[in-house]
Amino acid sequence: MMRFLDIDSVHYAYPGRGEVVRGASLHIAPGAFHCLIGRSGCGKTTLLKLAAGLLQPQHGAIALQGMPVTEPNPDMGFVFQTPTLLDWLTVLDNVLLPIALHAQVQAGQRQKAMALLDQLGLNRQSGLQSRYPQQLSGGQQSRVAIARALITTPPMLFMDEPFASLDAITRSELQQDLLALCQSQGTSVLFITHDIAEAVYLADHVSVMHAGKICHQLAIDLPHPRQHAIRYTADFNTLCAELRQAMDETA
């Protein structure tokens, strides 16, 4: 298999504590959408931070496109559970922040930010791009955070429960928009969720984590593009049931 992100037998203990990641291995192919599920506290966020170079493993190796990961780099985008937008910047300036931190923003980049906001359902006509984060709903803030993560077209996107606080309808709309964007940009994604149906809907592969290790892997061979109705098919529910069983075995 062609590999894009390689996590090989990684171990990690927070300073002064026992190991919370204990020999985890995970491989993501170029352009693949990979979901990571597992019970609270099993080490998912820690593994994502290791993969992104935000933490350094004590043992094992992590490589992105064959290069060892030692710190976050411009090939990576991030979306966390809380959108972490900057209150004093408008929506548009929040989206452009990853560029503005390093360089003068060009007109083309401004257009790209507007196009991303459009693709994510934040319509241009409403003047939403010149509002401030406090003037947005939670779902709209999440959309801005996704646009910000994708503004540099990063080949690798890390997402840690980005939709956890959203209502079911907003969540399923965002899932669809995210999938379409990642497919069109060819983005590889590592996506953490507690929601088995969300994992099956989004992913090409799902890994189940338990006690610091990957204990189960499942290929999701549902066709693309995925429409909402796929959730009611027998194949979809069989995949959910298999993951549910793998999760129950970790109890």
Ligand X SMILES: Nc1ncnc2c1ncn2[C@@H]1O[C@H](COP(=O)(O)OP(=O)(O)OP(=O)(O)O)[C@@H](O)[C@H]1O
Which residues in 161-233 belong to E strands, given as ranges? 188-192, 205-210, 213-219
Scanning 13-21, 66-74, 108-116, 118-126 for contacts with ligand X by CB under 6 A, the matching segment is 13-21
Nearer to ligand X, 17 or 102 (CB): 17
Nearer to ligand X, 43 or 154 (CB): 43
Dump the DSSP string for the chain.
---SEEEEEEEEE-TTS-EEEEEEEEEE-TT-EEEEEE-TTSSHHHHHHHHTTSS--SEEEEEETTEEP-S--TTEEEE-SS----TTS-HHHHHHHHHHTTSPPPHHHHHHHHHHHHHTT--GGGTGGGS-GGGS-HHHHHHHHHHHHHTT--SEEEEESTTTTS-HHHHHHHHHHHHHHHHHHT-EEEEE-S-HHHHHHH-SEEEEEETTEEEEEEE----SS--GGGGGSHHHHHHHHHHHHHHHTT-
Asked if residue 42 binds ligand X (CB under 6 A), the reply is yes
**Residue-wise over 170-181: b if at least 16 C-beta within 10 A, else e?**
bbbbbbbebbeb
* Chosen from Mg ion, ligand X, none, partner binding at 40 (C-beta under 5 to 8 Å by type): ligand X
CB 182 within 8 A of CB 156: no
Q: For Mg ion, how many residues bind (rule: CB under 5 A)?
A: 1
Site string for ligand X, 44-83 (x = CB under 6 A): xxx-------------------------------------
Question: Least separation, in Å, of the C-beta of 164 and ligand X?
Answer: 9
* Chosen from Mg ion, ligand X, none, partner binding at 46 (C-beta under 5 to 8 Å by type): ligand X
Contacting ligand X within 22-41 (CB under 6 A): 38, 40-41
For the record, the structure tokens of 173 come out as: 């709309």
Asked if residue 17 binds ligand X (CB under 6 A), the reply is yes
Q: For ligand X, how many residues bind (rule: CB under 6 A)?
A: 11
Nearer to ligand X, 4 or 12 (CB): 12
Q: Which of 143, 129, 141 is nearest to 93 (CA)?
A: 129
- Nearest residue to Mg ion by CB is 45
* Chosen from Mg ion, ligand X, none, partner binding at 125 (C-beta under 5 to 8 Å by type): none
Asked if residue 45 binds Mg ion (CB under 5 A), the reply is yes
Nearer to ligand X, 195 or 242 (CB): 195
Question: Least separation, in Å, of the C-beta of 31 and ligand X?
Answer: 25
* Chosen from Mg ion, ligand X, none, partner binding at 134 (C-beta under 5 to 8 Å by type): none
Question: Least separation, in Å, of the C-beta of 160 and ligand X?
Answer: 7
Residue ranges binding ligand X (CB under 6 A): 14, 17, 20, 38, 40-46
Residue ranges binding Mg ion (CB under 5 A): 45
